[in-house]
Amino acid sequence: MMKRLNRIAPLLAVLVLAVATVCMAAEGGEGGSSRIWDMVWRIVNFIILFAILWKLLADKIKKYFSDRRIEIAEMIDTADKARTEAEKQFADYRSRLQNIDRDIQEIRDAIMGELEGEKQRIIKEGKAVAERIIEQAKWSAEQEIIKAKNSLRNQVVDMAGDMASGLVTNSMTPEDQKRLIEEYLDKVGKEQ
């Protein structure tokens, strides 16, 4: 910093002298010299003030701009990382969107496969239930036939017994009845 100030100071001195000379020439002599010296002192004061401010604030200004440069660089890096991540997500979403029709078709095919399997299972269960119902109906019909046969047999036996008893009663004489009663009583008496 001092090197720069050392380089600039002679240039500023030459500039001040050049301005003073121009001002003196413009004023034309002695009446304007007080104004010129006033201007020169103002310029010198400005240069001194500038040099003092530079000396006091140069490091802080440099540090501020250096820190600001680092901060901006970090912000740019963060923005680049965020942009890269966003581009990755965009590419991922784009590939997902491109594959969405295929994914939908796969899901549709899987669902249709499950539905077909469920349909076959229901049909199989329905057939099994129908077979059980048919078997139960056959068994019930067989039981009803057996019951009807037994009922008919009992009716036939009863009717045969009634007919036989009617025949016996009609063809039996009072002597036959007496003889049968005696035989029965003998038989019962022997068993006791």
Structural domain count, the chain: 2
**Residue at which a domain ends, from 98, 126, 145:** 98
pLDDT at 22 over 70: no
Asked, for residue 192, whether it belongs to a domain, the answer is no
Amino acid found at 81: K
**Residue at which a domain ends, from 76, 98, 120:** 98
The H helix count followed by the E strand count for the chain is: 4, 0
- For the stretch 124-146, pLDDT in tens is 998 888 899 889 988 988 898 88
- The most distant pair of C-alpha atoms in the chain lies apart, rounded to whole Å, by 199
Average pLDDT on 11-24 reads 67
Asked, for residue 191, whether it belongs to a domain, the answer is no
Give residue 142's domain range: 107-186
User: How many C-beta atoms lie closer than 10 Å to residue 78's C-beta?
Assistant: 10
44-58, 81-95, 110-124, 163-177: segment of lowest average pLDDT: 163-177
83 SS3 class: helix
pTM of the complete model: 0.34
In contact, 30 and 87? CB cutoff 8 Å: no
Residue 28 phi/psi, 5-degree rounding, is: 80, 35
36-45, 80-89, 120-129: segment of lowest average pLDDT: 36-45
**Residue at which a domain ends, from 47, 75, 98:** 98
What DSSP line would sit under 172-188, residue for residue?
A: --HHHHHHHHHHHHHHH
pLDDT at 83 over 70: yes
Higher pLDDT, 29 or 8: 8
Residues 90 and 138 in one domain: no
In the prediction, which pLDDT does 30 show?
A: 54
